[in-house]
Chain A
Amino acid sequence: MYLTLVFLPLFGSIAAGFFGFFVGSSGAGFLTITCLGLTFFLSCCVFYEVALAGAPCFIQVMPWFDSELFSFAWGFQFDSLTAIMLIVVTFISFLVHIYSTEYMSHDPHLPRFMSYLSLFTFFMLILVTADNFIQMFVGWEGVGLCSYLLINFWFTRIQANKAAIKAMVMNRIGDFGLALGIFCIFSKVGAVDYSTVFALAPYFSFDSFCFLNMEFNFLDLVGVLLFIGAVGKSAQLGLHTWLPDAMEGPTPVSALIHAATMVTAGVFLIARCSPLFEYAPGALSVVTIVGAMTAFFAASTGLLQNDMKRVIAYSTCSQLGYMVFACGLSNYHVGVFHLANHAFFKALLFLGAGCVIHAVGDEQDMRKMGGLARLLPFTYGMMLIGSLSLMGMPFLTGFYSKDVILEVAYGNYTTSGHFAYILGTMAAFLTAFYSMRLLYLTFLSKPNGFRVLIVNAHEAPLRMALPLFVLAIPSIFIGYLTKDMIIGLGTDFWQGSIFIQPKNFTMIDAEHIPVSAKLLPVVLSILGASSSYFLYSYGSSTLYRLKTSPLGLKLYTFLNRKWFFDKVYNEVIGQFFLYAAYHWTYKQVDRGLIESLGPFGLSRLVSRVAYILKQLQTGFFYHYTLAMVISLMLFLAYFSLATVFGTSSVLLLNDARLWILFIVSIFFLTSDFKKEGQR
């Protein structure tokens, strides 16, 4: 059952990918949906067995590498953390598959699309079920590859190509860090499977490790390197620029990859490596600070985006910041809880956005929508549920995890904890503001689109509406239903799959923080949502004046252009590397130094020297005789010097450095000679 669960999506992918021509669009859709449905059903069974009944499962399939000390096997481990990820991934993926068959129904490449979606799910399952770092890395790279394929699905669009390359490259920067982290682990611990590494983590907690010729605390170094991997995959500050651009892919892809699945891999990695991070306080504070900054940055950027999907993408980025700093504050279970909840309502939001975009003829700019609430009442209702859940309105799913994150941040009694609390609370206000802005501009304001679009706007068909409806239910209830099970005090749900040092455990402290600190995020959320609603309903002239004032315009540009991250990256880093690659490494080294010392220089040298030697043979008899006499004299002089001064002075000529200098100088002297000759 366990292995079937992992490999069913691969089967579906192969069937749809290689035999899509034979089974056709509907056949490919049917096959992949069936496989994913079965996978979801099996995941539920696994969840029952592993998480509820408390029977973790470890499967060793076959040896992979077996080379002296470096040996590990293809292994799968199913513990509570894996089980909860399995449920989330397969549930969202199943619904996205159903949704895609309708949303992409007019696309001639539907089998390919379904194949990629299933392949993506497969790699995600490999990632979460792996029992060692290397196999996890297979899934990690696999989801990166599939995100490339999916973002680039409409490969005729240049923007999609660029966005896909960007996603791949930015992810690869993070992957490099992750790979380095795994190398460090192996070189110190000598094993890459989780059980060994985590069991030995306390033993190495004070060891230092030499990296880049500098001494680091081993676990801090490993934690930071693994976190760099998570930064790339989870779009944290610094490597986040790929996520908003990845909206170039079809909307179901955004829902699957950029809301529920791929970006959660980073959070999953941190939670999985909790035994390592627990003994690395330095790495934990880095995680906290970066996560908090991401939450605030993305929320403030999402505030003034005009592309509907970009707003949701930035809210994803922001919520990932929440999860990451929750993990950084040693509350991994809270982070994973938010991950699961977030997956439901973010998938709901993305799929709802897909319905809206579908309804208005692929228009994504919110300024050209408006007034869709009456035309699309069902979609409006679903988006409203998703947005309220995202804002953390009381008694919806988002509330239960988001508020706990902020509470444990306040209750952490550390500087980084309070930093995270302040930024997180501000981000909560901004989140509510832009969520309501999205709803208002899309659904509530006066219609702003073209008449033909408004007239033709239609409600989502069944296969698109059904996933929305199914997702809306957990978006409302799942937080309430599973809160006690997952993050309740003293719950035995995790069964050791997440380790928290007792001194870092702050759930109880979080219960004793001031009531005002508990209320503040909710109050700010409500305030943000209502202020947004009233500002856009009645204060549009005020907003216009704010936007056109000199300071306001600067702020607007700053936030709308994403804090100029892309500009700086492109113009400083990207340009620098392209310049260096072309002018230095290509023109000066490859075509310059190496070629003038290598093939071209050598051939020129030989012909030049031969030319010089040829010039010596003038044809005059007395020149030859003179040459003979001089050579004879030199020959005699060499041996008489050797006899007079001993062999050491003659051996001076055997100094290798002199010869290298001599040979290299010949290359450049003869090129001068050539110029002389041309003159």
Chain B
Amino acid sequence: MEQYLILSTILFFIGLFGIVLNRKNILVILMSIELMLLAINVNFIIFSNSIDDIIGQLFALLVLTVAAAESAIGLAILVIYYRLRGNIFIEQSHLMKG
């Protein structure tokens, strides 16, 4: 079980670093978020299997739907963003400074 957990944690951190270190592309951010959600899903299923409880899988299904909805909305925002700006480079989007 431990190697599964290590895998999911590594996946999660790859996703996280994908967001933090990424300076170019919004698409990569969405992909990273998907990766993090995937890692969490894996985590849910591992624990569900490990402690023999169905609730974990229930949550995993719920997260799948939420992730699908989220990526749909995110891509929609991306499309609108592209329509307005003509590109999807994130470093040009710092107009809302504090």
Contacts and interface: CB of A to CB of B under 8 A. Distances in A.
A617 B95 CA distance: 11
Interface stretch (B40-48, B73-81, B86-94): B86-94
A625 B94 CA distance: 14
Nearest to A617: B98
A137 to B, nearest CB: 66
A625 B97 CA distance: 15
A621 B93 contact: yes
A625 B19 contact: yes
Interface residues of A, number: 13
A597 B21 CA distance: 42
Contacts of B38: none
A625 B20 contact: yes
A541 interface: no
A619 B90 contact: no
A622 B19 contact: yes
A303 B21 CA distance: 97
A619 B94 contact: yes
A619 B95 contact: yes
B20 A619 contact: no
Contacts, number: 32
B22 interface: yes
Nearest to B24: A622
Contacts of B29: 621
Interface string A605-621: 00000000111111111
A619 B19 contact: no
B15 to A, nearest CB: 11
Interface string A628-653: 01000000000000000000000000
Contacts of B19: 622, 625
Contacts of B98: 613-619
Contact of A620 (B16, B21, B91): B91
Nearest to A620: B94
Contacts of A622: 19-23, 90
B20 A629 contact: yes
B51 interface: no
A615 B98 CA distance: 7
B85 to A, nearest CB: 14
B1 interface: no
Nearest to B91: A620
A626 interface: yes
A641 to B, nearest CB: 21
Interface in A92-114: none
B84 interface: no
Given A626-B20, A629-B16, A629-B20, A618 B97 contact: yes
Contacts of A625: 19-20
B92 to A, nearest CB: 10
A87 B59 CA distance: 111
A348 to B, nearest CB: 89
A618 B29 CA distance: 18
Contacts of A615: 98
Interface of A: 613-622, 625-626, 629
Q: Which 8 pairs of residues, A with B, have the shortest CB-CB distance?
A: A617-B98, A619-B94, A619-B97, A614-B98, A620-B94, A625-B19, A625-B20, A626-B20
Given A617-B97, A629-B20, 15 more contacts: A613-B98, A615-B98, A616-B98, A617-B98, A618-B94, A618-B98, A619-B93, A619-B96, A619-B98, A621-B90, A622-B21, A622-B22, A622-B90, A625-B19, A625-B20
23 contacts: A613-B98, A614-B98, A616-B98, A617-B98, A618-B94, A618-B98, A619-B93, A619-B94, A619-B95, A619-B96, A619-B98, A620-B91, A620-B94, A621-B29, A621-B90, A621-B93, A622-B19, A622-B20, A622-B22, A625-B19, A626-B20, A629-B16, A629-B20
